[in-house]
């Protein structure tokens, strides 16, 4: 069994549809796509947008604030189970998590919080990180874990164009990066770095400074897999030429 999985922060599902999303999806050869920052409720969409032909779709819009955050999974392979949110319900109101179960693994699609807008949000982000890891480690007792999405943190200096300039910027703070170290220490693998150690591989570029044209970006979107899946990961990549959002899609291929 092969799975081609993709992840994309679309920065607004209704907006991305006007920028070639369906053409991209239908030509992407994906079995599953995790979307983050959908900023929409299914009730705001047409039936063919909400339930596109050939896909099972699982929506988790933000309940606490309309037009904010939100995640969705589109899958050609019917999952065994679907779960929204984390075990710690204090981190569930913003629609940030969809978890689906397949025969061989669990997959989390997550839009991790941004640490900006003050210390309260930074602490919320760090708490969310820990709540996710606790949740994943519990499920991992049953089968391996895949997690994709916008982590809102660049892990290492190689993962952003200007590390020195951003040492005190949320998204590259030592405390945020230390949590990704913690994830790795728990036996989770950064799939892209299994295949490519090159710099300048980014997934997000600021709209404000024409950063994408100059490739002044950050790698803040990831696929991590638990160590048990190391030999099942056959490829990992970034689709940096796909436009439509301030993020680009990324993907992995798993073989069982």
**Strand 233-238 relative to strand 250-255, pairing:** antiparallel
Which one, of 8, 10, 67, lies nearest residue 39 by Cα?
67
186 annotated as ligand-binding: no
Is position 150 annotated in a ligand binding site? yes
Q: Is 246 annotated as a binding residue?
A: yes
Would you call 29 a catalytic residue per the annotation?
Answer: no
Active-site pick, 3, 108, 111, 222? 111
Query: What are the strands, taking DSSP E only, across the chain?
Result: 2-9, 32-36, 56-60, 71-75, 81-84, 97-101, 106-111, 145-150, 188-190, 204-205, 217-218, 221-226, 233-238, 250-255
Rounded Cα–Cα distance for residues 203 and 250 (Å): 8
Active-site hit among 135, 150, 190, 221: 150
Q: Give the strands of the sheet with 97-101, arranged side by side.
A: 81-84, 97-101, 106-111, 145-150, 221-226, 188-190
> Does 247 appear as a known binding residue?
yes
The residues facing 3 across adjacent strands are: 254
Q: Does the active-site annotation cover 155?
A: no
Burial class from Cβ neighbours inside 10 Å (0-12, 13-18, 19+) for residue 107 reads: buried
The binding site consists of 9, 37, 150, 152, 246-247
- Catalytic residue set: 111, 150, 247
The binding site for Mg(2+) consists of 9, 37, 150, 152, 246-247
């Amino acid at each position: 069994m092969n799975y081609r999985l993709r992840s994309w922060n679309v920065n607004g599902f209704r907006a991305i549809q006007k920028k070639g999303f369906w053409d991209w999806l239908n030509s992407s050869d994906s079995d599953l796509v995790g979307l983050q920052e959908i900023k929409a409720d299914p009730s705001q969409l047409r039936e063919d947008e909400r339930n596109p032909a050939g896909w099972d779709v699982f929506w988790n819009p933000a309940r606490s604030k309309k037009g904010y955050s939100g995640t969705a999974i589109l899958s050609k392979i019917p999952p065994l189970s679907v779960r929204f949110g984390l075990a710690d319900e204090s981190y569930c109101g913003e629609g940030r998590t969809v978890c689906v179960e397949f025969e061989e693994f669990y997959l989390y699609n997550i839009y991790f919080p941004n640490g900006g807008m003050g210390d309260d949000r930074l602490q919320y982000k760090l708490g969310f990180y820990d709540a996710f890891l606790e949740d994943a480690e519990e499920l991992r007792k049953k089968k391996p874990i895949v997690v994709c999405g916008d982590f809102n943190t660049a892990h290492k200096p190689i993962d952003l164009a200007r590390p020195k300039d951003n040492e005190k910027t949320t998204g590259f703070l030592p405390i945020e990066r230390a949590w990704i170290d913690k994830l790795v220490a728990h036996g989770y693998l950064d799939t892209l770095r299994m295949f490519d150690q090159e710099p300048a591989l980014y997934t997000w570029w600021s709209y404000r400074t024409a950063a994408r044209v100059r490739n002044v970006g950050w790698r803040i979107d990831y696929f991590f897999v638990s160590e048990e899946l190391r030999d099942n990961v056959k490829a990992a990549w970034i689709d940096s030429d796909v436009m439509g959002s301030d993020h680009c899609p990324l993907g992995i291929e798993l073989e069982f």
